[in-house]
Amino acid sequence: MPQKQLSFSLQDRRILTLLRRAKKPLSAYTLLDQLRPEGVRSPPTVYRALDRLLACGVVHRLESLNAFMACAYHADDGAKGHLSAFAICATCGRAWEIHDPTLARTIKKIGKKFFTQPDQEVIEISGLCASCEKKQKNCEDTP
C-alpha cells in the first residue's frame, strides 16, 4: 500500500525543517524567534503548526523541557501516536529519541491496566551525556 502523504502547510514544513536542523529540542518561543525574520509574529501561529505536526507524530513534545523535537524515526509517514521516549542530557539539553517496540508494548499494557484509554505516554530519562561527562572530566583535570 502506498504511504499516505500528509498535507502540511508551508509554515508547518518550515517549522519541521527548523526542528530537524536543531541540535537540541526547541521551545515554541525559540521557533518564533527564528521565524520572525520571515514575518511570523504571533505565538498562536507557531502553536497551531506544532499541534498539527504533533498530531501526526512527526514532532514530539518533551514535557520536562517544554520543548519540541522532530521525530527521529518517522519522516512524513505520520506514525501517529507512537510512543515517545527520550533520553535528555540535563547539562547540554540535547535529547535522543528512544525507539524500542518492546518498551512501547509494555507501556501500552500498563496504561490499559489503569485506563480504558490512556491518552499520554511520556517517558523521559535524564542524565549526563557522554560528551558533557568528558568536558567535566577535562575541567577537573586542568589545575
Interface residues toward Zn ion, by CB under 5 A: 71, 73, 89, 91-92, 129, 132
Q: Which of 101, 86, 75, 92 is nearest to 19 (CA)?
A: 75
Least distance (Å) from Zn ion to the CB of residue 138? Answer: 14
Burial per residue of 13-29, b for 16 or more beta-carbon CB atoms within 10 angstroms, e otherwise = ebbbebbeebeebbebe
Least distance (Å) from Zn ion to the CB of residue 83? Answer: 8
Least distance (Å) from Zn ion to the CB of residue 109? Answer: 20
Q: Which is nearer to Zn ion, 18 or 92 (CB)?
A: 92
Least distance (Å) from Zn ion to the CB of residue 10? Answer: 23
SS3 77: coil
Contact criterion met (CB below 8 Å) for 62 and 125: no
Least distance (Å) from Zn ion to the CB of residue 106? Answer: 17
- Max CA-CA distance within the chain? 63
Q: Which of 111, 112, 88, 110 is nearest to 98 (CA)?
A: 88
Task: Tell me the pairing of strands 84-89 and 122-127.
Answer: parallel
